[in-house]
Chains A and B, each alone.
Chain A
Amino acid sequence: KNEVEQSPQNLTAQEGEFITINCSYSVGISALHWLQQHPGGGIVSLFMLSSGKKKHGRLIATINIQEKHSSLHITASHPRDSAVYICAVESGGGADGLTFGKGTHLIIQP
């Protein structure tokens, strides 16, 4: 089964800073997901990537299939970005769901 490693595990930054969260995985995948989980527990899907780069507002996600690596960037970070960011991968075919990283706990201080 895929292993998904995220770094850093915890990140505290000042408002306005550029944030990068990294994700590495060990085997072939059909897609990689970036998810956001707030303290209440619910999860929001931010991006699904199979190649290249995607941008949504202040969030940018990139993936390098050859290097088995993805990054999530947050520009002009804000305290409301404070959350746990989770990288998850899915292998090709089937319905056997996602394999998750442990998450990066991000705190943006005003």
Chain B
Amino acid sequence: EADIYQTPRYLVIGTGKKITLECSQTMGHDKMYWYQQDPGMELHLIHYSYGVNSTEKGDLSSESTVSRIRTEHFPLTLESARPSHTSQYLCASSRTGNYGYTFGSGTRLTVV
């Protein structure tokens, strides 16, 4: 049973639309992450959060924004979707200390 939930699973949307990808975890993890993965390529970190009201940009430049108002919720927003945003977006969480990561099932976004 998944402890980290991403919605929607698949999304096809027109250029210029605003979208929000949802990510929620029920494990009380303080750290949360968004990764972007193009087909056949490795994952790249685009945003992360240490905890509530903390957000940082990752290694890969992204036009998306994130917020962390509640521990369990880490949504990612694109104000104006473009075809170049077509990709898979994976959310993950972990907690401070030598613990592993839990990944969501991903959102596969297609912008037409």
Contact = CB atoms under 8 A, between A and B. Distances in A.
Interface of A: 1, 30-31, 33, 35, 40-45, 48, 50, 86, 88, 95-98, 100-103
B105 A41 contact: yes
Interface in B53-112: 56, 58-59, 88, 90, 92, 96, 98-106, 108
Interface residues on B, range: 20 to 34
Interface of B: 31, 33, 35, 37, 41-45, 48-50, 56, 58-59, 88, 90, 92, 96, 98-106, 108
Contacts of A100: 42-44
A6 to B, nearest CB: 9
B103 A44 contact: yes
Contacts of B58: 96-97
18 contacts: A1-B59, A33-B100, A35-B103, A41-B90, A41-B105, A42-B103, A42-B104, A42-B106, A43-B106, A45-B101, A45-B102, A45-B103, A48-B100, A86-B43, A95-B96, A98-B45, A101-B42, A102-B41
Interface of B is mostly: strand
Contact of B56 (A42, A88, A96, A98): A96
Nearest to A42: B105
Given A35-B103, A42-B104, A97-B35, 13 more contacts: A1-B59, A30-B98, A40-B105, A41-B108, A42-B105, A45-B101, A45-B102, A95-B48, A95-B50, A96-B58, A97-B45, A97-B58, A102-B42
B103 A97 contact: no
Which among A48, A95, A97 has the highest number of chain B CB atoms within 10 Å? Answer: A97
B89 to A, nearest CB: 10
B100 A43 contact: no
Contacts of B33: 97
B77 to A, nearest CB: 19
Nearest to A40: B105
A44 B1 CA distance: 12
Contacts of A42: 103-106
Nearest to B35: A97
